[in-house]
Each structure stands twice: as structure tokens, then as C-alpha cells.
Amino acid sequence: MHITAKIDYAVRTLLEIARAAHGGSEAALKADAIAAEQSIPPKVLETVLGDLRRAKLVVSRRGPDGGYWLARPAAQISVADVIRAIEGPLASVRGQRPEDVSYRGAAESLQRVWIGLRVNIRAILENVTIEEIALGALPEFVDALTDDPGAWARREPSARS
């Protein structure tokens, strides 16, 4: 799975807003504060915030008291919600949903591989929330996965003869 810069920026943007809200602040978080704290280019952040607003993950208000708030509690926003808001479906094959592709011959069972991949992606991304990341309290299953030393090992493409 490829996590684009835009997805990374969107998650980090929501984490900053969640952290400000968790700190008890009722004040909106300004875009320039998010950009500075997370080193996000301001023009890119504008685009990301627009996408998050359209997806109803953040709300905003203009003016001196304006800024951005989460549209719902951080505990109710999954990483999958953010990815879908920014890039669309979690897994696609040539721009199609895995259930909409079909293959023949030797590739006939490939569709099930793509469906299985999506199931595993969902198992993590739909079950990790912005609140958990912001608080550094990831679910135990994430810790179990990342405690495996093999999780941190790079895999190089197989050498071909």
C-alpha cells in the first residue's frame, strides 16, 4: 500500500486538531499553526483542509476567532475515514474496486488476493482512531504487529536469473 504525502498530511492535520481539543482548548486551531507544527506546505494544507471539510471530518469558521475543529470526536474518526476522504477507496485495482475486477485463466484467483489484501488493510485502518494516535495509545494488535522484528525489516525485490 502506498501512503501518499497528502494522506500523511491529512492524518497529521487531524492529529494536531485532536491534540489541541484534548488539551481542553475550545479555540479553533489556525491553519498556519498546523502548517508550522507539522511542516506542511501552507498551499498543500489548504487543499487537505478543503478535502477534510468536504468529507465532514473538520469544520471551520473564518475570522479572528476562526480556524478548524474536528467535526466529531477523535475517537470516532478512523485512519480509514481519512484515507477515503483524501484518496477514495482503501484498495483499488486499476482504479476499480477489487470486487469489480475479473480475470481468466491463470489469473482467475487473483481477485481473491486483492479482496484479501483489502480485508487486511481494513482490519488495521478501520480500527485505529485519530484519538488513539494522538494520545500515543495504539490498540494492542498494532503493538503486537510492530513488536515482530520482521515488521521492521526491508524486503528487496527477488533477484531474477
Neighbours of 85 (CB within 10 A): 21
This prediction's pTM = 0.88
Residue type, 95: G
Q: What are phi and psi of 37, to 5 degrees?
A: -65, -35
How much is the pLDDT for 159? 61
> Three cell numbers at 51?
478535502
Lowest-pLDDT choice from 32-36, 61-65, 113-117: 61-65
Residue 2's pLDDT band (cuts 50, 70, 90): confident
Residue type, 63: G
Cα 125 to Cα 1, 92, 101, 119, 121: the distances in Å are 12, 15, 23, 10, 6
Higher pLDDT, 62 or 106: 106
How much is the pLDDT for 160? 56
How much is the pLDDT for 123? 94
> Three cell numbers at 93?
485495482
Q: Report pLDDT digits (tens) over 14-23.
A: 999 999 887 6
* N- to C-terminal Cα separation, the chain: 27
Mean of the per-residue pLDDT values of the chain: 92
Residue type, 136: G
Among residues 117, 49, 119, 126, the alpha carbon closest in space to that of 81 is found at 126
Cα 36 to Cα 15, 21, 67: the distances in Å are 14, 18, 15
Place of cell 477534510: 52
Integer-rounded Cα Rg, in Å, for the chain is: 19
Residue 25's pLDDT band (cuts 50, 70, 90): low
How much is the pLDDT for 27? 72
